Structure 1
Amino acid sequence: MATATTVVDRAAGCLLGGALGDALGAPVEFHQLAEIRRRHGQDGVTEPPKPALISDDTQLTLFTAEGYLSAWVRGKHLQIWDPAREVWSGYRRWLRTQQRKRPERDAVGLLADPRLYARRAPGLACLRALSSAEPPTQGEQYQRANGCSGVVRAAPAGFAPTGELAYEMGCEFAALTHGHPAAWAPAGALALLVHLVAVRRRSLPDAVDQVTGRVLRDHPDTAESLASAVRLAERDLGAARASLEARAFGRAPTEGGPGAESVMGLGPGWVGSQALAIAVYSALTHRRAAQFPDALRLAVNHSGDSDSTASLTGNILGALHGTAVLPRPWLARLELADVIERVGHDLGATCAGDTFEEQRYLVA
């Protein structure tokens, strides 16, 4: 088990890392790789813009966290435990920020922050699902919604008390708006992966192996996508090592190594399983702390859902390493960095047994 300080720091790193990836990729989300390189140079996007604006992915991640923290506080003090209901209420609060220009006078929690009242092209599946006053029942979920919006907001579920609960809550939170297994199973997989590296201190390869085995029971396509990411990462890391050895001995370097071709071989990332596979590949090939910026760059510069894939990569590596790996110049320009860090710390505190301002989350 990680120490209390490490869990709290890794929770903040998870949310901040995801937000940095989101902001890095948002300006090129719908661009083809050739267009990205034409506009930004052969290396593509290399750093977030100034200011580094988040998308609806990070907005919804914050409201996921607020909903879970509300459930945690109510469970502790009122013996009422219904995290899916509280997260649904959180998503409905987020919807209000997309419909209004500013907070109401009596707004509390995240709703009181005027910076969240920014419409960042939210997905239609979320908007349609959240137009209902009540969450869907298991038989009424939006079965055809299989996009990656469910997985990109699931990281806070990783700070549940146990790995199985993290997986279950990740699935449940995603299924509130995206009822297809290709959407909710990757969300459970991400939550379990975050839990294993941030709370249980598993190595990243071991955690990915465990997650792949767990999600296989619910959605074999997601398990196969993760297995493909692992195979590509091992192949490309082997090629990179061979090239370094060749240079060291004065031979011509071999071709290969981590790159956009492998990323695009996993799909564009619009579906949840593809987005998670791209993030896992990017994290596995750049798992050292100093490689965090390059991991996000790899996850961004492809023809697909650049902000989602980079956001997931940031979640994973932030959970693995904590806040020390986050580039300070990038954080200085990140929108809502103070709120994201505080919410992350509070998530970690629930695992670590640390105190935090619990009344902040009695928002309903």
Structure 2
Amino acid sequence: MGATSGAVWGRGEQQDFRSRVRGTLLGAAVGDALGAPVHQLTLEAIREEHGGTGLTDLAPGHGGRGAVSHLTQLTLFSLDGLIRAQVRRDTGAWHPPTDLHRAYRRWAATQRDWGPDERRKEDGWLAREEWLYARRSPTRALLLGLGDDTMGTLDAPKNPGDPGGEAAARSAPFGLLVGWEPQLVMQLAVECAAQTHGHPLAYLTAGAYAVVVHALARGENLDGAVQRALALLAARPGQQPVTDALQHALGAVRQGMPTPARVEELAGDGTAEGTLAAAVYCALVGEDVRHGLLLAVNHGGPSGTAGAMTGGLLGALHGETALPPAWLAELEGRPTMLVLADDFAMEMTQGPALHGPAGSSPGWLARYPRG
């Protein structure tokens, strides 16, 4: 299915895929914007600030309602890097991890204190979006991992002691490579996570999350998608804590009504695999997208990361139209996200027609340069 496998897309398939791409990107961003203002607050502190039922709506954070964090910024650059990688296939110089590293370095450049404008034409259009230059609490691991030209790899990873979930939270776009085999999706997500988060729990969780999104984007249900990730994890060294966390999430679904305590217990100490478990649980038990996202952020753990990952799952599962319209209306950067999502969907379904070997569309190559 898709340009990467040589299949022909029907109009209905294209529309469904575009809806799921939009849903994944917007869902992750809405979850991020919802959870960021209460990230790492205790449940008591959340209720003290927002009332006895906790957070029920977007709240001011990073200067306004609907503002996103660095997690969404990086997710956008993941999608941009994947488009650029596809465009470069025509050149014969195709190594997607390198293209993703370049994309993440373009994000890192937005986080510097700029003097003269050093942005370059070959950076493409996304790197010229002014709103992405806001610093939204990027962590030390991200800034260090992307602080020089050296790309972290599985053999020589950056920040091998950091098991956090940030690399996983930016990995939903890998799951949108629906023309790829699931094991290749996992491998790419794992390799790209190691560029900033070289702990096995961090990069294996990123791979598992990408595979779950991949199955959802192909039309599978969430339980089946998790089973697919578990099967692929089985052969990976160091995978047992990630496998245990996902199985714990599936088991928790049968333990009665969802509560903040159960979400917090799944999230554990906020490392990557626990955050993914919490996200899977919230996506499984949520009555609808709004309910699932509110579950994902109302607890004393990594609310922003869990919200973003839950939103990515629910958006891939249900598509754009299932997301709460009122929250989308206030979402920072939504026009940019829609353009990027639609460009990705076009590249995946019509890539050769857009930029074939002769470079038939200079406009497309100006937006997504091969350099």
1:358–1:167 CA distance, 2 compared to 1 (3 A): farther
Question: Are residues 1:203 and 2:221 paired?
Answer: yes
Partners of 2:279 and 2:53 in 1: how far apart?
19
1:254-307 CA deviation, whole Å, 9 max, x = no partner?
A: xxx011111011134621101110000000102x6xx10110000000011101
1:92-145 CA deviation, whole Å, 9 max, x = no partner?
A: 111111003585464532111111110011011111111121202433213212
1:309-339 CA deviation, whole Å, 9 max, x = no partner?
A: 0100000010011110111111111111111
Summarize the alignment of residues 177-188 of structure 1 with structure 2, pairs less than 5 Å apart. 177-188=196-207
Q: Percent identity?
A: 35
Partners of 1:307 and 1:91 in 2: how far apart?
20
Specify the code of the residue in structure 1 equivalent to 2:91: L
CA contact (8 A) 2:186 2:207 kept: yes
What is aligned with 1:68? 82
**Superposed displacement of residue 353, structure 1:** 3.7
Question: Are residues 1:109 and 2:104 paired?
Answer: no
1:41–1:194 CA distance, 2 compared to 1 (3 A): same
**Superposed displacement of residue 217, structure 1:** 2.4
Question: Are residues 1:37 and 2:47 paired?
Answer: yes
Summarize the alignment of residues 113-132 of structure 1 with structure 2, pairs less than 5 Å apart. 113-132=129-148
1:33-70 CA deviation, whole Å, 9 max, x = no partner?
A: 01001110121111113531000000011111111110
Greater Cα offset, 4-13 or 98-107: 98-107
Query: What TM-score do you get using the length of structure 1 for normalisation?
Result: 0.88
Partners of 1:234 and 1:345 in 2: how far apart?
38
Specify the code of the residue in structure 1 equivalent to 2:44: A
| Secondary structure in structure 2 of the residue aligned to 1:304 | coil
Specify the code of the residue in structure 1 equivalent to 2:263: V
What is aligned with 1:232? 252
What is aligned with 2:109? 96
Partners of 2:283 and 2:306 in 1: how far apart?
11
Quote the RMSD (CA, aligned, Å).
1.8
Partners of 1:36 and 1:22 in 2: how far apart?
16
Specify which of 138, 150, 153 is matched with residue 134 of structure 1.
150
Specify the code of the residue in structure 2 equivalent to 1:235: Q
Specify the code of the residue in structure 2 equivalent to 1:322: G
Greater Cα offset, 95-104 or 336-345: 95-104
What is aligned with 2:6? none
Summarize the alignment of residues 1-364 of structure 1 with structure 2, pairs less than 5 Å apart. 3-49=13-59, 50-75=64-89, 77-101=90-114, 104=118, 106-107=120-121, 108-141=124-157, 142-160=159-177, 161-162=179-180, 163-198=182-217, 200-218=218-236, 219-236=239-256, 257-268=257-268, 270-286=270-286, 291-353=288-350, 358-359=364-365, 360-362=367-369, 364=371
| Secondary structure in structure 2 of the residue aligned to 1:12 | helix
Alignment: residue pair count: 339
| Secondary structure in structure 2 of the residue aligned to 1:3 | helix
Unaligned runs of at least 5 residues, structure 1: 237-256
Specify the code of the residue in structure 1 equivalent to 2:53: D
| Secondary structure in structure 2 of the residue aligned to 1:311 | helix
1:223-282 CA deviation, whole Å, 9 max, x = no partner?
A: 11000000001223xxxxxxxxxxxxxxxxxxxx01111101113462110111000000
1:140–1:258 CA distance, 2 compared to 1 (3 A): same
Specify the code of the residue in structure 2 equivalent to 1:181: P
Partners of 1:274 and 1:112 in 2: how far apart?
35
What is aligned with 1:251? none
What is aligned with 2:357? none
Partners of 2:52 and 2:336 in 1: how far apart?
35
What is aligned with 1:241? none
Specify the code of the residue in structure 2 equivalent to 1:210: R
Partners of 2:167 and 2:241 in 1: how far apart?
16
Partners of 1:322 and 1:131 in 2: how far apart?
35
